[in-house]
Structure 1
Amino acid sequence: MVTREQERARARRRHDRVQAKAAEQAQRRAKQQRTVLLVSLATLALVLAAVLVLPRLAGSSDEDNVPDAAGAPTSGLHCSPAPAAQTKPKQFPAAPDPATVKGKTLVATLTTNCGDIVIELDGTKAPQTVASFAFLAKQGYFDPSPCHRLTTQAIFVLQCGDPTGVGTGTPGYGFGLENVPANGQYPKGTVAMARTNDPKSNGSQFFIVYDHTALPTSGGGYSIFGTVTRGLDMVGSIAAAGSSAGADGPPKTPISILKVSVTDKKAQP
């Protein structure tokens, strides 16, 4: 026969077992919560490390990805302030003799406020254009002159060569077309003359093709006289920042030619 004392002892033992089991479950839950918290903290640390470190491993930094005035990134592009345009550029009575460069390959270095653009000039296919460009460079005609026009839809060119920055300037003379592609195709890196509707209005203005462009042939086309060999990536960065007037207007990142030097290719190291 079980006495009351024995029953109370059994009840105490059952109570102790329940309490011990509850305490054990509480300890397991607390351990699991600590583990979850530690994993969460470790994950957050890894995310923060990726945000802060990976851009630098990829070669970028706050300094290398500076937004322009309109907020467009110009990654890797460092431009000094562009100088003011000329008000009264030099004028000349006639185009120079093409015989001075005929059959030669020249190298033009355009020093700009955003870096150098190097162009190989073809005196064999475009002697009159190359002679004019070399002459104007020697005379300091382009020192300085803003690149006043950027087109970003269908036609992909940066236009330069007018010291006034207005887009109507000339050196005082004009000449006709030469080395015009019959198919109207102007590959990336091409340098060609800009002109009015008059085929004999070539003067000082030229354009750099930063992406393959097709131009009309009905009006006579445009004289190709060179190819960019260095600095096209910089022109592409300026183009990526866009124009301040939609698809056709002044580049948002002001770029200006500071000086132009021209030498024979054979003189290059």
Structure 2
Amino acid sequence: MSPSKREREAARRRYERYQQHLVANKARRIQRRKTSGAVLAVLVIVLAISLTAAIANRGTPDVAGSTPSPSAKYTLPPPSAAQARTWTGTITMNVGKIGIELNGAKAPQAVASFVSLAGKGFFDGTKCHRLVTSGIKVLQCGDPTGTGSGGPGYTFGPVENAPKDGVYPAGTIAMARTSDNGSSMGSQFFLVYEDSTIPADTAGGYTVFGRMTSGLDVVTAVADAGVKGGKTDGPPATDVTIQGVETQ
């Protein structure tokens, strides 16, 4: 083979190798794009699921607010479960006992829910997470998370048995809810330790479902100790934990 032919043959082989190199590189790029696309698709799906879950669980706690924390253990009983009667019971706290009377005739849905949750031990070990000492005088309890945004996994409404004049006498037991939604009641409730006026909003006030028959002094003592950090609205300076709730 003449030198010119050998050179041409060598050049051809170099060209073929170069083309093979280009084809291989192109195949690798395509594979990388496919892999990146698959990873991106998975990330998008995960992000969408996370965002959906976050939206489903979000809530806006109010001055007497409540939002649900999903739980398969608790379901909302019908109002008929309160049997349109008066219930009595005791809320046992680490700071003392509170005697209660629940009005199943005037607030059947709220009473049915409270009695059902109490019977299942829902309130056991939960903290009273909020004390308000200015404007309104209430101790708020019933949130299993202790943050003001927890609940039994369901909400209900509308508001039952709200006072027309907006006055909640000392000893009142009422349901917490968000400020603009009368169907946002769950497990949170508040104990009024001094007469308080809470003007009705678009949702129509707050459901009064019972009263304290004893132990008002227990709540008053907690209020006298004040709010942590010297504030007028926040966690009580005295840690208050519900040890159990009995109703009959």
Q: CA RMSD in A?
A: 1.5
State the 1:237 CA deviation. Answer: 0.6
Q: Which secondary structure does the structure 2 equivalent of 1:158 belong to?
A: strand
Matched-pair identity in %:
51
Q: Which residue matches 2:172? A: 190
Matching of residues 203-218 of structure 1 within 5 Å: 203-218=186-201
The aligned amino acid for 1:249 is G
Conservation of the 8 A alpha-carbon contact between 1:113 and 1:257? yes
Q: Which residue matches 1:238? A: 222
TM-score (ref. length: structure 2): 0.68
Residue 261, structure 1, aligned to residue 242, structure 2: no
Conservation of the 8 A alpha-carbon contact between 1:89 and 1:163? no
Gaps of at least 5 residues in structure 1 are 1-87, 264-269
Runs of 4+ displaced beyond 4 Å: 88-93
State the 1:218 CA deviation. Answer: 2.0
The number of aligned residues is 176
Corresponding residue to 2:160 among 178, 187, 191:
178
Q: Which residue matches 1:149? A: 130
C-alpha separation in 2, matches of 1:262 and 1:89: 25
Conservation of the 8 A alpha-carbon contact between 1:162 and 1:204? yes
Corresponding residue to 2:100 among 116, 119, 122:
119
Conservation of the 8 A alpha-carbon contact between 2:90 and 2:99? yes
Conservation of the 8 A alpha-carbon contact between 2:141 and 2:190? yes
C-alpha separation in 1, matches of 2:143 and 2:125: 9
Q: Which residue matches 2:142? A: 161
C-alpha separation in 1, matches of 2:125 and 2:187: 13
Give the structure with higher Rg (CA). 1
Change (3 A) 1:236 1:89: farther
Conservation of the 8 A alpha-carbon contact between 1:186 and 1:214? yes
The aligned amino acid for 2:191 is I
C-alpha separation in 2, matches of 1:114 and 1:160: 14
Conservation of the 8 A alpha-carbon contact between 1:101 and 1:127? yes
